[in-house]
């Protein structure tokens, strides 16, 4: 089976490349190789590569920037997904498209299932939701996977890092660090997303899936595990979202329940704390490859 991974040099794309290369013929595609906002580029690449499956991780995901440039965000997150869905439908290629927990507004205060109604609060989330609808409604053989609080070996290119690398950097540079304890999510390793995606594509049960680690955490609890595992000495304190200027409206609760994966019996996602400790220990011990 031939698989093409769009955004292969990104945080999630890097782990998808690693996991899928073990069993499949994989081609990684970066922005230099394909322009998903241009349907002719999508047609040309797919006709040349003739993949069986396309995994799309490309996204405009710097949330404050999306507020400033909504048209650009929609072109990538919405029209890009539409173009891929149309061409995949026409060519019989299966599509895996990744989305976000931010499609919810947080008011439920309990884990969101795939059946819950989205209510995105910002431009980024709205454009990602449009991409979900395009993928699901224009391609019969599509999987849409929502993820939450992701981190991986390769820092996020657009943001210059991820939460872990940011925390470690702050711990080195600041006399103290404050992190909010009233915004709740589920930190999720991109390696585990890649592993569970590999199980999902073995099925033909297309549709919408949540794929996050189990449990829930505040950003402060997330940081506390980083501090304890890496033995960081800088004082860490809890704070409130009200202590920081709210640049963009965000959901303060966006925990996902992997209900549809559980229905298929293929939910492999571990507890968030277990996965995080595993990640931190592995990469703290491999200094030459460590993002720290």
**Active-site residue list:** 124
Cα angle for residues 134, 136, 138 (degrees, 5° grid): 60
Q: Tell which phi-psi region holds residue 257, choosing left (phi > 0), alpha (psi between -120 and 50) or beta.
A: beta
Residue 19, helix vs strand vs coil: helix
Distance CA 239, CA 244 (A): 9
Report DSSP state, residue 255.
Answer: -
Helices (H), the chain: 11-20, 39-49, 63-68, 70-74, 80-91, 123-138, 163-173, 190-200, 219-230, 259-264, 272-285
* Cβ neighbours for 21, distance < 8 A, ≥ 6 positions apart: none
| Phi, psi (rounded to 5 degrees) for 38 | -115, 110
CA atoms within 13 A on the CB side of 216: 17
Return the closest-CA partner of residue 186 out of 254, 119, 121.
254
């Amino acid at each position: 089976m031939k698989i093409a991974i769009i955004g292969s040099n990104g945080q999630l794309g890097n782990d998808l490349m690693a996991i899928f290369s073990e069993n499949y013929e994989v081609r990684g595609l970066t922005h230099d190789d394909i322009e998903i906002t241009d349907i002719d580029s999508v047609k040309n690449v797919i006709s040349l590569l003739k993949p069986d499956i396309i995994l799309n991780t490309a996204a405009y995901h710097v949330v404050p920037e999306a507020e400033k440039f909504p048209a650009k965000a929609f072109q990538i997150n919405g029209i890009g997904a539409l173009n891929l869905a149309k061409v995949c439908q026409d060519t019989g290629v299966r599509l895996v498209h990744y989305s976000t927990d931010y499609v919810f507004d947080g008011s439920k205060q309990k884990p969101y299932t795939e059946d819950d109604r989205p209510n995105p609060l910002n431009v980024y989330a709205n454009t990602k939701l449009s991409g979900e609808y395009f993928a699901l409604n224009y391609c019969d053989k599509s999987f849409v996977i929502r993820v939450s609080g992701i981190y991986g070996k390769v820092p996020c290119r657009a943001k210059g890092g991820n939460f872990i690398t940011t925390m470690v950097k702050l711990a080195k540079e600041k006399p103290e660090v404050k992190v909010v304890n009233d915004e709740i999510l589920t930190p999720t390793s991109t390696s585990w997303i890649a592993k569970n995606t590999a199980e999902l594509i073995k099925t033909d049960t297309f549709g919408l899936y949540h794929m996050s680690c189990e449990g829930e955490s505040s950003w402060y609890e997330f940081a506390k595990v980083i501090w304890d595992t890496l033995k960081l000495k800088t004082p860490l304190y809890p704070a409130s979202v009200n202590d920081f200027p709210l640049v963009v409206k965000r959901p303060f609760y966006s925990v996902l329940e992997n209900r549809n994966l559980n229905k298929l019996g293929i939910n492999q996602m571990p507890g968030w704390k277990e996965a995080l400790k595993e990640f931190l220990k592995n990469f703290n011990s491999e200094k030459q490859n460590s993002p720290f």
